[in-house]
Amino acid sequence: MATPSSTVDPETRARIVDVADGLFYARGFQSVGMDEIRTGAGVSLKKLYAAFPGKDQLVAAVLGGRHEYWEHGIEQAVAAADTPRDRLLAMYDFLEQWFGDDTFRGCGFINAFGELGATSPAVAEIAREHKDSFQRYVAGLAAAAVPDVAAAEELAAQLALLAEGAQTTAAIAGTPEAARHARRAAEVLIDAATTRRA
């Protein structure tokens, strides 16, 4: 049996998600209604609900897009770095670039969890999985820089916390400074973990 979204062409569906993402990210998930998204996307309410039967499904699609954007940005920055140490620090270079964007309003997953996490188990789970995914990614990078497994795991947890804290601080402060401070703190932690190994 066809799913409701299969009746809507991919281009229209992508446009709906793009409009919803912009509105949700700028103004919050709860303050934006489906009718406003329909108007912005230039589709009928019937077509909007054919693509996304409820707001939760649309929020999930928006967060899926945010996850892909995040992974792509981090992976590009890391791929441009030469050494395991530089790959860990490249994450903060990506953050600085992102924080400097005029549209930056903090982490979409933290925002979604803060607004909807208590009432939407699905959104809470999506946010947790996104953060877990980042933690696993950092752990892989840390393992390449610090062969001692326990030290690498501890370093990964510390570096991920620095990145998370920088996102929240940058959103509130409205400047990219937090990424630079986090990067300098990361250098200290990486060097300490590397020295402890020896």
Q: Which DSSP category does 106 fall into?
A: S
User: Token pair of 72, please?
Assistant: 């792509």
Task: Please give the pLDDT value at position 195.
Answer: 83
Residue 11's Cβ-count burial label (10 Å; 0-12, 13-18, 19+) is exposed
Q: Is the pTM of this model over 0.75?
A: yes
- Cα torsion 101, 102, 107, 108: sign: negative
- Sequential pLDDT tens for the chain (198 residues): 334 445 889 999 999 999 999 999 999 999 999 999 999 999 999 999 999 999 999 999 999 999 999 999 999 999 999 999 999 999 999 999 999 999 999 999 999 999 999 999 999 999 999 999 999 999 999 999 998 999 999 999 999 999 999 999 999 999 999 999 999 999 999 999 988 644
Give the domain 81-197 fold.
Tetracycline Repressor; domain 2 (1.10.357)
Side chain identity, residue 109 = F
Q: What is the pLDDT of residue 6?
A: 54
Whole-angstrom distance, CA of residue 54 vs CA of residue 40: 17
Domain-wise residue ranges, the chain? 81-197
DSSP string, 37-61: HHHHHT--HHHHHHH-SSHHHHHHH
